[in-house]
A and B are shown apart, each in its own frame.
Chain A
């Protein structure tokens, strides 16, 4: 067994990849030690605080004020996106940020208020490695989620089932593990969960809460929302559902139910503590099986963040990064729907694959792009307002990689084959090897290595 390969695999999955000098330094660490170090580095958490104003509290009156609010909201969206992407690219708390990304997809939410998105993101980060039940309850009670899943409209006598349904279908149990009756009855328990439109804080409104008897999963009582969440989490199925999603995220597109059940045992017995579960996965023998190495398709964010980290890229115009995200099909804070990005093979179509293979050279070689990606639906109001037909296209990538730093980390006697082995998770094929060995210079060789189908995998 090749220890360096295992360490590299661990960093590719638990984080966003490893740098050459770090691998050189850690290659004799045991997996256990590396996992310990990774979690140690993730004890730190940096909340995102770039946005300070909740625009929903502004209440513009005149057209000019409304225009200003729209414009500010648009800019807030860009700021928030860029801030998180920068943090992902620079943080040492890799496991925490990677898990924040997992929860970002799990609790997919677009509520039209960027300030609320920042708030949810910070809750996901704070609890990323903590307790799932705490995380679930906190996210469920944010203005963003209450707004998004229309629980403001969920009132006694007029239940709105939106939240209750998504809670079970997408956040905890998965389809087929609850009945329509369970949705109806639990929706009544969540009546009165709301937020104040004055200060945007969670508030329980007894006046609209249904305090009758509800029959949920075979039990009858005057349940409140918290009771329902307790009962759902008490079901082992919740642990199985979350673990199979984590398995697909960290291990393999095709869940091995034996491994998933082992994970669910650990998770359930640890009362839904996330860290022990992840430690179990990252130290399991099967995590390092050949078939689980170099076989996952990187998400667009994994790809961009990996490049940024490996080459210390700085961007003069951060809009370029948003264009990249849109073009590749994953714009942070804009999941396609409440089910999140489906991931896996769905990341790849003819266009996204060609862009994935071209983008590295544009970033690393002062390139020009002529694609912008689609405006997200929330941008439409902004476009109409600004009387534009499409978003401005930034053509010059204007990125500054730090080649010197990258190359300095490589010992002078590193062969090009070793470089390719280091940068690619799957085995290198003979064509790539030939091209790389015959590239006119080292930079061309590196760009070729990362412009391959193999580089799309981690």
Chain B
């Protein structure tokens, strides 16, 4: 029997019965569901971005006293109000800010801060208390919760080759897609294709083997859905030729082609600036600012900015006082930046960080990061935040 015959024969037995059940959700969406579909884009700055040299409290003398060699000179700062301004490498964001599409939340952190990269990132990604260990991420728990249309992995897409902890729930997980075409090609290798189409029904049991087959089939159909939905859309705007630029361009392609995705996740590394901070952070901030500005302008043009919210965070800020190597060491509270076309409170959301009342040389947090998450969950993703954050947070008013 040739393989083709084999395929044709057994398709009657198993493939025809099993596959449509998994493919059906994609076909079930009517085009009208797509308009008004809200997206959340999360940008992670890894390594602990120095918030004080990002959104600079130039109006506070203590800033200049504590940062003799790495403070940004007043004339170079892009002033937003009398107290705070943008690092000059973020100049591209000025226009975005002036349009009312950017909100800066100061002093975001959590009680008993941890200064280890991996632990603090873990806390931000799992939305745990600082003495609590969760094995699921907050976006993953959003997927697990009973939100509508959450059953497919592409409900949350990370533009990367692996999936962050934040995106893994107990039952459901997001999907990492660096390049939809590549993912599609990989899943269409004949051997995998046959495994997907010709498995025995018994393989879809609730046990681990069933889970593996189910994941394989979902990946297979998600790859198809993402590829088919996005392949004809071409992003019309120019993006900087950087990794982050490329990632956000991909997110734009996904959003504008109408992918039924609620959460996108991208990250940029290189912020652990213990030594020679100005050049290193400046370079990274320029990559960040230019890419985000291009992304926001692109979405404005395509009419999707009102349906999109962008949040940028880093696992911690850095110490107020610089170190002896023209750098900064690990700190605590930090700013979170929000972008979107429909912000309720654009501009600077709350008071600039208090540089005089420090906790052991570090900023005291004023806003719990889970209040930021709660806002996104309640007001943007329409799910009760206590289901995901394990207790209720009051949230903020930026949307």
Question: Do A and B interact?
Answer: yes
B275 contacts A67, CB within 8 Å?
yes
Q: Which residues from chain A contact B3 at a C-beta distance below 8 Å?
A: 438
A:369-388 near B, CB below 8 Å? 370-378, 380-381, 383-385, 387-388
Is B325 a contact partner of A431 (Cβ separation < 8 A)?
no
For B46, give the chain A residue with the smallest CB separation. A380
Distance between Cα atoms of A430 and B272 in the complex (Å): 52
Stretch at the interface among B22-30, B102-110, B184-192: B184-192
Decide: A384 and B122 in contact? CB cutoff 8 A. no
Contact B162 A329 (CB under 8 A): yes
How far does the alpha carbon of A23 sit from the alpha carbon of B315 in the complex, in Å?
Answer: 50
Mask: chain A, 332-374; 1 = CB below 8 Å from B; 0 = not: 0010111100101110111111100110000000000011111
Question: Are A66 and B175 in contact, with the CB atoms below 8 A?
Answer: no
A372 to B269, CA, bound (A): 14
Are B195 and A350 touching (Cβ within 8 A)? no
The answer, yes or no, to whether B48 is at the interface (CB within 8 Å) is yes
Binds B, one of A187-195, A272-280, A304-312, A445-453: A445-453
Tell whether, in the assembled complex, residue A351 and residue B48 are in contact, meaning their CB atoms are under 8 Å apart.
no
A354 to B283, CA, bound (A): 35
Cβ-defined contact, B272 with A374, below 8 A: no
Measured CB to CB, the closest approach of chain B to A440, in angstroms, equals: 11
Contacts of B283 in A (CB 8 A): 387
Asked whether, in the complex, the Cβ of B195 is within 8 Å of the Cβ of A431, the reply is: yes
* A429 in complex: contacting residue of B116, B167, B191, B200, CB < 8 Å: B200
Q: How far is the CB of A180 from chain B (nearest CB, A)?
A: 11
Contact in complex: A377, B133 (CB < 8 Å): no
What 1/0 mask marks residues of chain B from 88 to 128 whose CB sits below 8 Å from any chain A CB? 00000000000000000000000000001111011000000
Any A CB within 8 A of the CB of B332: no
Interface size, chain A (Cβ < 8 Å): 68
* Cβ-defined contact, B162 with A346, below 8 A: no
Q: Which of A66, A346, A431 has the most CB of B within 10 A?
A: A431
CB-based nearest B residue for A448: B191
Fill in one digit per residue for A428-448: 1 if any B CB lies within 8 Å of its CB, else 0. Answer: 011110110010000000001
- Chain A residues within an 8 Å CB radius of B117: 377-378, 380-381
Nearest Cβ on chain B to A336's Cβ, whole angstroms: 6
Asked if A336 and B122 sit within 8 Å, CB to CB, the answer is yes
Q: Which of B194-228 contact A (CB under 8 A)?
A: 194-195, 198-200, 202-203, 207-209, 211-213, 215-216, 218-219, 222
Question: B297: CB under 8 A from chain A?
Answer: no
B200 x A371 contact (CB < 8 A): no
Query: A389 an interface residue at 8 Å Cβ cutoff?
Result: yes
Do A350 and B162 have beta carbons less than 8 Å apart? no
A353-B119 in contact (CB<8A): no
A296 within 8 A of B: yes
Q: Are B175 and A377 in contact (CB under 8 A)?
A: no
Query: In the complex, which residues of chain B have a beta carbon less than 8 angstroms from the beta carbon of A161?
Result: 131
User: B2-18: contact bitstring with A at CB < 8 Å (1 yes, 0 no)?
Assistant: 01001000100000000
Across the interface, B325 reaches (CB within 8 A) one of A63, A339, A358, namely: A63
Convert B266-288 into 0s and 1s, putting 1 for each residue whose CB lies closer than 8 angstroms to a CB of A. Answer: 01111111111001100110010
Selected from B168, B187, B203, B269, the residue in CB contact (under 8 A) with A383 is: B269
Whether B211 pairs with A345 at a CB distance below 8 angstroms is yes
Complex interface: chain B residues within 8 A of A434 (CB): 6, 198
A394 CB to closest chain B CB (Å) equals: 14
A373 to B176, CA, bound (A): 11
- The answer to whether B163 has its CB under 8 Å from any CB of chain A is yes
On B, residues with C-beta under 8 Å from A are 3, 6, 10, 46-48, 116-119, 121-122, 131, 133, 135, 153, 160-165, 167-168, 170, 173-176, 178, 182-183, 186-187, 191-192, 194-195, 198-200, 202-203, 207-209, 211-213, 215-216, 218-219, 222, 243, 267-276, 279-280, 283-284, 287, 315, 325
Interface of A toward B, CB cutoff 8 Å: 63, 66-67, 110, 112, 161-162, 165, 170, 253, 294-297, 326-327, 329, 334, 336-339, 342, 344-346, 348-354, 357-358, 370-378, 380-381, 383-385, 387-390, 426, 429-432, 434-435, 438, 448, 451-454, 456-457
Between A and B, 13 residue pairs with Cβ closer than 8 Å are A326-B162, A349-B173, A350-B219, A354-B186, A357-B216, A375-B46, A377-B47, A380-B272, A381-B117, A383-B269, A384-B273, A385-B274, A431-B199
